[in-house]
A and B are shown apart, each in its own frame.
Chain A
C-alpha cells in the first residue's frame, strides 16, 4: 500500500512538469500582456514607459528564459509575485483557497448525500411514480448549467423571496459570524450542488439496481433478514463502490464550476481571483492557480484510489 502511494506520487512529478509547460504556453499565448492591460485601463503611455515596465516584469526576455526563471522559482517553493499589485502569489492563494474549499466541500458533500439517498430510493421504487419523478427531476438537474442555476436561484431566493443574500461571504458592515457566512453560502453551494446531485443520483440508482440483482442479495433475503438490513448493510456498501469513481471525476469539473459561480456570487475564492487575473493578464497568478488546482486534483485522485481499497476488500494495491 505504502509503495503504491509512493509510486503514484513519483508519477505525479512528470505530470506536474507537463502541466507547467502547458500553463506557461497558454498564459503567454493570450493576446496582450500585463503592461498593455494596465495601459488600456489607465491612460495612454509612451513607448519608453511600456518598455521600462516590461523590463521590470522580465517580459522583454526570450520565452524560454522566462519559463526557466519561473520553474526555478517554483522549485524554491516560490510561485512569484502578482504583476498587478506585487503581492506574493502564494500568499494570495493562501488567503483565498479556504473560501473555495468551503464552497466546494459543502457543495460536494451535499450533492453526494442528497444524490445517493435519492438514487437508492429511486432504485428501490423502480418503475413506480417515485422513481419516474426522481428520474425526471434528475434529468432537469443535469440539463441546467451551473451558471444558469446560479442566476435562477438568485432571482427566486434573493430578489423575489428575499430569503437569502445574493453575493459575498458575509453582510457588509457587520462583524463576521459563522451563521451569517453560512447564509451567504447556501445559494452558491446549491447552484454547484444541484447539477452534481443529479449526476450522483443517476449513478447511485444504476449502481443499486445492479446490486439488487446480485445473488448475495438473494442470499441475504433467504436468511430472513429485515428489508432495511438487506438494503443498508448488504446493498448500499456495494452500490457505493462505483460511485467513488464518479466522485473523483466530479472534482475537476467542480473547479471549473466554481470559477463561474464565484463570479456570479462575488465569492472571494480562487475562482474569482483567477477571473480577475485573466482580465489583468496577471500571468504569475494564472499559472499559480492552475498549478494549485492540478495538485489538488491529483491528490483527490489518489484519495479516490484509497477510498476504493477501504470500501472494497478485494482491492489491494501493491
Chain B
C-alpha cells in the first residue's frame, strides 16, 4: 500500500503563484462558417491547485466540449477554436503543438469519462490499459509500471488486483470499471483530474460509492478536480465552486454554498426549482418552459431569453457578460439586480388536486407469484444448466386510477416485470390478472386484444421511434394495426393526441430526428395513448431527458392521468422523481419486491434496509446536508441473478444481516396502519429498533 503523502505530487514550480489553470475567453465552433454550431462561447474560469470545481449544465451546454478542447481531444476539423487561451502553469494548451500537449495529457491533466463500459478498450487487458500511460510518460519498466498500477488498483478498492490485471473489461461490473477508469487516470498522479459525468451511467448506490472515492482520493493526492455534471444536487455535496453553463456560456459561477443559498441567474433558479426534492411538501414540479437552446445561432443575445420569464427586449438584442454579484460570485444576466426582489419559485407550486374522484380500491391489475426465468444452455446438446432469475416471485396489485411505481437498480428485474405484464415476455410461473382475466398463458391473439387496453411508454425516445416514419404515422400506427375507425377518424384522432401531449399540429409531418428529446417523448406518450388504453406501463420514460425537461414530462403524465382516468405502472430508478408522481411504491431487489407501501410511508418511514440505503444515496441539492446527513453507502454491487444469494437476496450487502437472513427467505409482513395503508416489508429485521 502507498501512503497519501508519497502519492501526493510534489507541488514544486507553482509558477509565479498564478492559478493552476487559467482559461480566458475560450470559444469553440463546429462546422464551416455560416452553418456553424457555436458550442462554447467566451468561457473563462480559473482553477487553483487542489481546488474542486463543478461545471454544471444540460446536454448541449458545451461543458464537455470545453474540457475536451483543453485536452486537445476534439476533432479538428470540424471543430475550431475561434478564440481564447488556456494557461496551464503559464503555458497555453491551445497554442502548443499536439506532440507537446501529449506530454501534459494523461500525465498532468487526466480525464475520466461518462460510460465506463465503452471508455475502456474491450479487447485489451486492464493491466495493459493501466500500465501503458506510465510506460509512455515515465518510461518505467514493465514490472515497475505493473507494481504502481497494482498500488493504484488497491487505492481505488479493486479486490484481488494482482489476479485481475489479466482480465478484460467485460469481466467487471460498471461500478468496478469506473474504479478502474479512475485508477487509469490517476496512475501518473496528475495535478488536475477532469471527471466528465463519471456517475451518470451508474446506479444510485454505485454513484454514491464513486463520489466518495473521488472525494477521498482528491484529499489524499492533493489534486485539483473539475467535475462535469448535469446534476446540481450531486455536486452540491463535495465541490467548492460551481459554474453553471447554458448554451456554451457560463451564466453563473459562485462558491457552492452561495450558489444554492442565493442563486442569481434565472436559469440557475429554474434548474434548482425543477430538481425534485425528497422532503419538500409540494407535489408539483416547476419545469423550465420551452426547449433546449438552438446553438446554431451566433451568440449575440442571451440564449436563455426564450425560456426566461423575465426576458425583455434587451436580452434578445445583446449578450450579457459575467458581472460580479459579490466577490467570487458572478452572473451573466442583464436584469439580475432587478430580479433580486422576485420570489424564487413562481406561484404554480400549488398541490394539484390529487385525482380523488373514484376511490381507488378495485384492482385493475393483479400480479401474483410472477417468475420470469431465462434458461442458460450449455454443452453439445444445449441442455439447460441453470436460469437467470430475472423476476423471481413478484406479487403486486395496481388499483384502478392509481400510479404504482416499481423502483430498483439496473438488473433488479423491474423492466422484465413490466414486459411480462404487457405480454412481451412469457412468464415461467405465476398469474397476471388484468380486469379479472388471467393472461399469463394467453395466446398471441388474446394478448393483442389486451394491448388495446394496455400500452407502454419506452425509456429511450431516440431509439424507440422509427426514424423513417413521420410523427403522424408513428402516432396513428397503433390505430391502423388495431383497425380502429376510418382513415378520416384516425387523422382526427392524431390531431387530438398531438394537442393532448402539447405538440403543435405542424409536428405531424416531421421526422423524429427533427425533434428534441422532450418532444420525442411526447410523441411516445401520444402513441401509447392512441388506442385509448386504460393502463400505461411507463418504463423509465424520463431517464434519458435533461433535468429541466424531465419535470415537463412528469407533469404531463400527471395531467393526463387526471384527465383521462389512466392507471400507471411507472418503472424507474430515480426515487426523487418517483416521489412526485406515484401513489404507491414497490421497491425491487434482485428479482423480488422488498418493500411496498404508499409513497408517503415508504419515503417517510422506510423499513427495509435496502430502501433506506437507496434513499440515503440520493444526492440532496443542499451543500450543507453533506455533513449532517448520515449516508448509508452499500458495499459491492448487485449479485449475478443466475446465482442469487441464499435466503434473503440482499443479505450479503445488508448492514443489518444476521444468521437467519442467509438461511431463510423472509415473507412480506404488513407494518401499515389504517391511516397509512398497507406497508409490506420483506425483511426479518423490519420493525426492530
How far apart are B170's CB and chain A's nearest CB, in angstroms? 5
Determine if B111 and A229 form an interchain contact, defined as CB atoms under 8 angstroms apart: no
Whether B83 sits at the interface, judged by CB under 8 Å, is no
What is the CA–CA distance of A215 and B184 in the complex, to the nearest angstrom? 15
A-B contact count (CB 8 A): 88
How far apart are A8's CB and chain B's nearest CB, in angstroms? 10
Complex interface: chain B residues within 8 A of A173 (CB): none
Complex interface: chain A residues within 8 A of B106 (CB): 222-225
Complex interface: chain A residues within 8 A of B103 (CB): 224
Complex interface: chain A residues within 8 A of B73 (CB): 218, 221-222
Q: Given A7, A225, A238, which contacts B122 in the complex, CB threshold below 8 Å?
A: A238
Whether B595 sits at the interface, judged by CB under 8 Å, is no
What is the CA–CA distance of A313 and B124 in the complex, to the nearest angstrom? 8
The chain B residue with its CB closest to the CB of A221 is B73
Q: A223-B132, A223-B184 are in contact. Are A238 and B104 (CB under 8 A)?
A: no
What is the CA–CA distance of A313 and B114 in the complex, to the nearest angstrom? 23
Whether A226 sits at the interface, judged by CB under 8 Å, is yes
How big is the A interface, by class? 20 to 34
Determine if A311 and B136 form an interchain contact, defined as CB atoms under 8 angstroms apart: no
How far apart are A213's CB and chain B's nearest CB, in angstroms? 9
Whether A10 sits at the interface, judged by CB under 8 Å, is yes
Determine if B118 and A221 form an interchain contact, defined as CB atoms under 8 angstroms apart: no
* Residue among B71, B132, B181 with max Cβ neighbours from chain A (10 Å): B132
Complex interface: chain A residues within 8 A of B382 (CB): 7
Q: A3-B380, A224-B102 are in contact. Are A219 and B119 (CB under 8 A)?
A: yes
Whether B107 sits at the interface, judged by CB under 8 Å, is yes
Complex interface: chain B residues within 8 A of A313 (CB): 122-123, 168, 170
Whether B91 sits at the interface, judged by CB under 8 Å, is no
**Interface residues in B115-134 (C-beta closer than 8 Å to A):** 115, 118-124, 132-133
* Residue among B71, B114, B168, B380 with max Cβ neighbours from chain A (10 Å): B380
Whether A43 sits at the interface, judged by CB under 8 Å, is no
The chain A residue with its CB closest to the CB of B104 is A224
The chain B residue with its CB closest to the CB of A7 is B380
How far apart are B104's CB and chain A's nearest CB, in angstroms? 7
Q: A6-B380, A222-B110, A224-B136 are in contact. Are A216 and B170 (CB under 8 A)?
A: no
How far apart are A93's CB and chain B's nearest CB, in angstroms? 31
Whether B570 sits at the interface, judged by CB under 8 Å, is no
Complex interface: chain B residues within 8 A of A312 (CB): 122-123
Determine if B121 and A223 form an interchain contact, defined as CB atoms under 8 angstroms apart: no
Whether A125 sits at the interface, judged by CB under 8 Å, is no
What is the CA–CA distance of A6 and B380 in the complex, to the nearest angstrom? 7
What is the CA–CA distance of A220 and B71 in the complex, to the nearest angstrom? 12
Whether A183 sits at the interface, judged by CB under 8 Å, is no
Determine if B121 and A219 form an interchain contact, defined as CB atoms under 8 angstroms apart: yes
Complex interface: chain A residues within 8 A of B72 (CB): 221
Whether B179 sits at the interface, judged by CB under 8 Å, is no
The chain A residue with its CB closest to the CB of B106 is A224
Whether B520 sits at the interface, judged by CB under 8 Å, is no
Give a binary string over B258-300; 1 marks a CB under 8 Å from any A CB, 0 the rest.
Answer: 0000000000000000000000000000000000000000000
Give a binary string over A199-241; 1 marks a CB under 8 Å from any B CB, 0 the rest.
Answer: 0000000000000001110111111111001000110011001
Complex interface: chain B residues within 8 A of A216 (CB): 118-122
Interface SS majority for chain A: helix
**Interface residues in A234-277 (C-beta closer than 8 Å to B):** 234, 237-238, 241
Whether B341 sits at the interface, judged by CB under 8 Å, is no
Determine if B380 and A229 form an interchain contact, defined as CB atoms under 8 angstroms apart: no
Whether B379 sits at the interface, judged by CB under 8 Å, is yes
How far apart are A201's CB and chain B's nearest CB, in angstroms? 22
How far apart are B202's CB and chain A's nearest CB, in angstroms? 15
Q: Given B68, B105, B114, B380, which contacts A10 in the complex, CB threshold below 8 Å?
A: B380
Whether A174 sits at the interface, judged by CB under 8 Å, is no
Whether A76 sits at the interface, judged by CB under 8 Å, is no
**Interface residues in A281-318 (C-beta closer than 8 Å to B):** 311-314, 318
Complex interface: chain B residues within 8 A of A241 (CB): 123
Determine if B105 and A220 form an interchain contact, defined as CB atoms under 8 angstroms apart: no
The chain A residue with its CB closest to the CB of B108 is A224
Q: Given B68, B110, B168, which contacts A314 in the complex, CB threshold below 8 Å?
A: B168
Complex interface: chain B residues within 8 A of A224 (CB): 102-107, 133, 136-137
Complex interface: chain B residues within 8 A of A215 (CB): 113-115, 118-119
Q: Given A7, A220, A226, A318, which contacts B121 in the complex, CB threshold below 8 Å?
A: A220
Complex interface: chain B residues within 8 A of A225 (CB): 102, 106, 132-133, 136
Q: Given B71, B105, B378, which contacts A3 in the complex, CB threshold below 8 Å?
A: B378
How far apart are A273's CB and chain B's nearest CB, in angstroms? 37
Q: Given B104, B110, B132, which contacts A229 in the complex, CB threshold below 8 Å?
A: B132
What is the CA–CA distance of A313 and B118 in the complex, to the nearest angstrom? 15
How far apart are B374's CB and chain A's nearest CB, in angstroms? 15
The chain B residue with its CB closest to the CB of A214 is B118
Determine if A222 and B122 form an interchain contact, defined as CB atoms under 8 angstroms apart: no
Q: A224-B106, A238-B121, A313-B170 are in contact. Are A3 and B379 (CB under 8 A)?
A: yes
What is the CA–CA distance of A6 and B168 in the complex, to the nearest angstrom? 27
Complex interface: chain A residues within 8 A of B104 (CB): 224
How far apart are B487's CB and chain A's nearest CB, in angstroms? 42
**Interface residues in B299-332 (C-beta closer than 8 Å to A):** none
How far apart are B77's CB and chain A's nearest CB, in angstroms? 9
Q: Given A7, A214, A222, A311, which contacts B71 in the complex, CB threshold below 8 Å?
A: A222
Give a binary string over B48-75; 1 marks a CB under 8 Å from any A CB, 0 the rest.
Answer: 0000000000000000000010011100
Determine if A219 and B380 form an interchain contact, defined as CB atoms under 8 angstroms apart: no
What is the CA–CA distance of A223 and B118 in the complex, to the nearest angstrom? 16
Complex interface: chain B residues within 8 A of A7 (CB): 380, 382
What is the CA–CA distance of A219 and B380 in the complex, to the nearest angstrom? 40
A–B complex contacts, Cβ < 8 Å, 24 sampled: A3-B379, A6-B380, A214-B118, A215-B114, A215-B119, A216-B119, A216-B122, A218-B68, A218-B73, A219-B113, A220-B121, A221-B73, A222-B71, A222-B73, A223-B105, A223-B106, A223-B136, A224-B107, A226-B136, A233-B124, A234-B121, A312-B122, A313-B122, A314-B168
Known: A222-B111, A313-B170, A318-B379. 17 other contacts (CB 8 A): A215-B114, A216-B122, A218-B113, A219-B120, A219-B181, A219-B184, A222-B73, A223-B105, A224-B102, A224-B103, A224-B104, A224-B136, A225-B136, A226-B102, A226-B136, A234-B124, A237-B124
The 8 nearest A-B residue pairs measured at CB: A224-B106, A224-B105, A223-B106, A223-B133, A216-B121, A313-B168, A215-B119, A222-B111
Contacts from A to B (Cβ < 8 Å): 3, 6-7, 10, 214-216, 218-226, 229, 233-234, 237-238, 241, 311-314, 318
